[in-house]
Amino acid sequence: MTLRKPEQIRNLALVGHAGAGKTTLTEALLLHAGEINQAGTIERGSTVSDFDPLEKEQQHSLDTAICQINHNQIHINLLDTPGYPDFAGRTISSLAAVDAMAVVINAQSGIESMTEKMLNGGAESDLCRMIIINKIDSDGNLEELLADIQQRFGAECLPLNLPSADGESVVDCFFQHGDVATAFSSVEEAHTAMVDQVVEVDEELMQLYLEQGQELSPEQLHEPFEQCLREGHLIPVCFVSARTGAGLAELLKVFERLMPNPLEGNPPHFLRRDGDKTTPVAITPDPKEHVIAHVFKVTVDPFVGVMGIFRIWQGTVTVGQSLYIGESRQFKISHLLSLQGKKYTEIHSAGPGNICAVTKVDEIHYDAVLHDSHDEDHLFLEPMPSPPPMHGIAIQTTRRGDEQKLSTALHKLAMEDPSLKVEFRASLNETVLYGSGDLHLRIVLEKMRQQYQLELETQPPSIAYRETISKPADGHYRHKKQTGGAGQFGEVMLKVEPLERGQGFEFVNKVVGGSIPTQFIPAVEKGIRQVLDEGVIAGYPLQDIRVIVQDGKHHSVDSKEIAFVTAGKKAFQDAITKAKPIVLEPVVSTVINAPDSSIGDITGDLSSRHGMINGTQVLGNKVEISAQVPLSGLEGYQSRLNAMTGGEGNYTVEFSHYERVPDNIQQELVRGYKPRADDS
């Protein structure tokens, strides 16, 4: 097979709210382009992209599927992403693989929370964006929706085509703009608006067009069009019906001729880590360069094992070649795969812009950079802003002896899912799963039951509390143990200071004159880090603390690593207890969409849970309420919201910051904490 040129490739993610029709649209495009002979349906669970048994059961995408369309010598990788806000983490991680996102909007329900999140998130990450209005066969008011989109996301959201007057097809307004009857606006008007916008970035063309009145061809407009996409100066809008097929041919043409190829999009933000510093690294999408590829998805299949799916940014990956994963591990590519939903075909090599997979490489992990030269050892891709998982649930196996099976399953699930975090709280002997919402956690638990045959017991969601200190304090500990033969001796004096919220942990060594020999400093840090995970007053991890090791004592015979681990740990605990420790709780920003009649109930309920309303916006007969509220105040919120809105409300949650819990809650948490018996 000859190597595909980057110019022949398009990498696009279909994003947007659940139910917008992304999976149906993917299926319809695959059929239209002749990749499949018959379109599957969501209801029958027979689509190419929703192949996981749980996806079929839920009738919604739960993870990103990679589908490919080969049409007119162009190879389009279409990433069908999940639309539930709970799975936004997975959607965001797939965006690292594409040059453009197409936000699909349901013509019937209009702008929804994920529409907004994705359009704004795409702008922050410098991704080229377009909008697809799907379900034009339904009874939605398309003219109003377009006006709504322009009002919310800017006048640069301009149609490339318009629905025909009978609603059964779409009329092109960019390539060949004849004068055909449309449902609203006119082809000429839409064409002029689009060209006016595009020429704004090219003075020469602007002169030809405005001053000399010259008609510009799509070829002449191509370069400035791409520039507009890169700069966010234009967000083209296309109309389509995945159900009737209206607009599919036009949409494919837009993908092929107007969406950026891997040479035309904004370059990804690769960075090189050099000690504490990072420097940007330019990527050259040249097949002859060194290989740089980024793993944006990992799946663990009971039959195929671990599969790492990656986008090649430069160089050529070939079967038989050895690649490194990040800084050290090396593996040989024995099979290189090209994906079509759950099916794959073996390929021999692939160049820049391609999306491929390798299997049976156990060390591969999400976000890894694959490369073929030690020069690229410390490369990483700047992570896209993604909400940290905050919804917790404590789990336990009900069958004795299943602990190892549980730990293996958790390890594999966390590998696949960047928005899942597993925390083992040694102090409470509790395993806590953190995800981005109730639905996310329910799906993970179901997978553990179905795929890993685990029987589980769960506790009510626990909140990811944290501990910190509110003033500086000194700590001291002398560890001295005489047990017959050799003794243990280590003494540590340190100071702790509060850091600003979100700063994490800082370890500073200010020991001079060898009072603690240099080789024992890592042991002191190790002891301190043990306390960080376990907390001191309520069993939650400590954060936002600087610890400065100032002085200590050693013994030429009895000082050994273990002695300084213990001394570091106890000195740190000593300092924390004197530094007015407090418990912090996560506060989230929430956006609630609901019928406007329920506004009083919703704001009243939020205020009673220490929430702060930031704003309300009425859109037609709907209202959007933005607020900040402690996460604990949103426990079981969907059912409360259902009760207040007759099932018409939905909400999104995003981590905002940590804040001190009220005194009564702190007392309760401290009372309920039983520190582990110390073994030192």
> Which tokens hold the place of 212?
């000399």
| Helices (H) then strands (E): counts for the chain | 16, 35
**Least CB distance to ligand GDP at residue 389 (A):** 22
Cα 480 from Cα 651, distance rounded (Å): 56
Q: State the nearest-atom distance from the C-beta of 635 to ligand GDP, in Å.
A: 27
Residue 18 or residue 393: which is nearer to ligand GDP going by CB? 18
CA atoms within 13 A on the CB side of 388: 13
CA angle 587, 407, 460 (to 5 degrees): 40
| 499 strand-pairing partners | none
Q: How far is the CB of 494 from ligand GDP (least distance, A)?
A: 54
Alpha helices per DSSP H over 272-402: none
In this structure, are residues 426 and 531 in contact, taking their beta carbons and an 8 Å threshold? no
Instruction: Give 365's DSSP letter.
Output: -
Distance between CA atoms of residues 184 and 206, nearest Å: 27
Min CB(132)–ligand GDP separation in Å: 10
Q: How far is the CB of 105 from ligand GDP (least distance, A)?
A: 10
Retrieve residue 537's tokens.
């007053």
**3-state DSSP of 455-493:** CEEECCCCECCEEEECCCEEEEEEEEEECCCCEEEEEEE
**Which of 524, 626, 543 is closest to 583 using CA atoms?**
543
- Least separation in angstroms between residue 22's CB and ligand GDP is 4
22 vs 412, which CB is nearer to ligand GDP?
A: 22
Residue with tokens 């060390």: 363
Nearer to ligand GDP, 201 or 248 (CB): 248
Q: Which is nearer to ligand GDP, 103 or 494 (CB)?
A: 103
Nearest alpha-carbon partner for 299 in 346, 355, 358: 358
Main-chain dihedrals φ then ψ at residue 161, nearest 5 degrees: -150, 170
CB atoms within 10 A of CB 188: 12
Cross-strand bridge partners of residue 10: 76
- Measure Cα distances from 432 to 13, 168, 201, 635 in Å: 32, 52, 52, 16
**CA 79 from chain center: how many Å?**
14
- Supply the minimum distance, in Å, between the C-beta of residue 106 and ligand GDP: 7
Q: How many angstroms separate the CA atoms of 494 and 497, rounded?
A: 10
Neighbours of 322 (CB within 10 A): 9
Q: Which is nearer to ligand GDP, 242 or 583 (CB)?
A: 242
Tokens of 272: 């090189």
Q: Which is nearer to ligand GDP, 49 or 598 (CB)?
A: 49
- Of 28 and 157, the one with the shorter C-beta distance to ligand GDP is 28
Shortest reach from residue 356's CB to ligand GDP, in Å: 24
What is the smallest separation between the CB atom of 247 and ligand GDP, expressed in angstroms? 9
Contact indicator for 505, 545 with CB cutoff of 8 Å:
yes
Q: Which is nearer to ligand GDP, 55 or 544 (CB)?
A: 55
616, β-bridge pairs: 625
Closest CA to 591 of 632, 637, 639: 637
Looking at beta carbons only, is 243 or 546 nearer to ligand GDP? Answer: 243
Closest distance between ligand GDP and the C-beta of residue 242, in Å?
Answer: 4
Return the number of the residue (137 or 226) whose C-beta is nearest ligand GDP: 137
Question: Least Å distance between CB 47 and ligand GDP?
Answer: 8
Q: Are 285 and 352 in contact (CB under 8 A)?
A: yes
Shortest reach from residue 492's CB to ligand GDP, in Å: 56
* CB of 283 or CB of 339, closer to ligand GDP: 339
For residue 452, give every residue at least 6 positions away whose Cβ sits within 8 Å of its Cβ, in sequence order, or none: 405, 408, 409
Q: Based on CB atoms, which residue is closest to ligand GDP, 17 or 294? A: 17
Nearer to ligand GDP, 135 or 371 (CB): 135
With residue 583 as reference, give the H or E element that holds it: strand 581-595
How far is the CA of 354 from the CAs of 8, 71, 286, 323, 369, in angstroms? 10, 16, 12, 16, 15
Contact positions vs ligand GDP (CB under 6 A): 18-24, 42, 60-61, 83, 134-135, 137-138, 241-243
Number of residue whose CB is nearest ligand GDP:
21
Q: Do the Cβ atoms of 493 and 548 come closer than 8 Å?
A: no
Q: What is the DSSP letter of 124?
A: H
**Whole-angstrom distance, CA of residue 347 vs CA of residue 298:** 19
Q: Do residues 628 and 611 lie in contact, with contact meaning Cβ atoms separated by under 8 Å?
A: yes
Nearer CB in complex with ligand GDP: 11/26:
26
Minimum Å gap between C-beta 82 and ligand GDP is 8
Sheet harboring 235-239: ordered strands across? 65-71, 74-80, 9-15, 100-106, 128-134, 235-239, 157-159
Q: How far is the CB of 76 from ligand GDP (least distance, A)?
A: 17
Shortest distance in whole angstroms from residue 245 CB to ligand GDP? 9
- State which residue, 49 or 68, has the beta carbon closest to ligand GDP: 49
Cβ-based nearer residue to ligand GDP, 17 or 554: 17
51 CB neighbour count, 10 Å cutoff: 17
- CA Rg, the chain, in Å? 28
CA distance 481 to 476: 17
Question: Nearest Cα to 658, choosing from 569, 603, 575, 587?
Answer: 587
In the complex, the smallest distance separating the C-beta of residue 254 from ligand GDP, rounded to whole angstroms, is 17
Minimal distance in Å, beta carbon 388 to ligand GDP?
25
Closer by beta carbon to ligand GDP, 23 or else 598: 23
